Amino acid sequence: MEIKSETIINAWKSSLKYIFESGEDFTDENNRVCREVLNLVIEVNNPGEDITVAVDVLNSFKKWVYPPLDEIGDLILSRKLSPTYSYSYGPRLFNFQNTINQIDNFIIPLLKRNSFSRRGIVLVWNPIQDSNIYKRDVPGLISIYFKIRKKMLNATIVVRSNDIFFGWPANLYQVFVLQDYIAKKLGCKIGSLTTFSNSAHIFKDQFEDIQKVISD
């Protein structure tokens, strides 16, 4: 299934509605009832227009505290792993296995050299650390693919497990921050942002709140 939209808020609402109406229920390993759609593609053509709106909607609920945007953004650009997180995306992108800076030393020079390149991929999933059945926390985001078309930097992310209600808005914001960082270095504009979710899901205990968002 593919959902296309100009803005994040519309894409988010449409995806939530689609999963809510067409998803299949199962109980996950934490005993939570989960409604799932497999292999969902969501494409946002103009993510910069309303990049924070979905997060603002989540913040308007007083039941929970959504992570602050600066913390969400900081994490994707920070090179060092803070000891208080099990993992974070920044160190894996900028210092993968303490060996390679996938952004500054690969993506940026690659796209500078050949703007039509189809090799602009970075990995977040690290099999050495994550392919371990006893590990509690492993990244949801697997890879990010950058390509320049029509002088715009487009990004596609692959997410293995994606909570579309809580996680997707933060994922989009994080990748947008990174997209912006790379686009500035390349001197081009930001294009579309596409997510490919292997398991796009919502949880039953949030159905009431999800319905509020959909119907708003």
Q: Are 204 and 119 in contact (CB under 8 A)?
A: no
Q: Pattern of binders to other proteins over 84-123, x per CB under 8 A?
A: xxxxxx----------------------------------
Choose the binding region for other proteins from 13-21, 36-44, 75-83, 115-123 (rule: CB under 8 A).
Answer: 75-83
d(CA 9, CA 7): 6
Give the integer Cα–Cα distance in Å for 196 and 140: 12
The span of 73-81, 97-105, 125-133, 179-187 binding other proteins (CB under 8 A) equals 73-81
- Is residue 74 within the footprint of other proteins (CB under 8 A)? yes
Rounded Cα distance between 168 and 68, Å, is: 15
Do 148 and 189 contact (CB within 8 A), yes or no?
A: no
Angstrom distance (rounded) from CA 67 to CA 190: 25
- Judged by beta carbon, residue 116 or residue 134, the one nearer other proteins is 134
Q: Which is nearer to other proteins, 111 or 165 (CB)?
A: 165
| Near other proteins in 5-64, by CB under 8 A | 63-64
- Residue from 26, 56, 68, 105 that binds other proteins (CB under 8 A)? 68
CA distance 153 to 127: 28
**Residues 129-158, interacting with other proteins (CB under 8 A):** 137, 139-141
Q: Give CA separation, 170 vs 73, 88, 187, in Å.
A: 9, 13, 25
Provide, rounded to whole angstroms, the least separation between the CB of residue 192 and other proteins.
21
φ, ψ for residue 29, nearest 5 deg: -70, -15
Which residues contribute to the site for other proteins (CB under 8 A)?
A: 63-68, 71-72, 74-75, 80-89, 137, 139-141, 163, 166-167, 170-171, 174
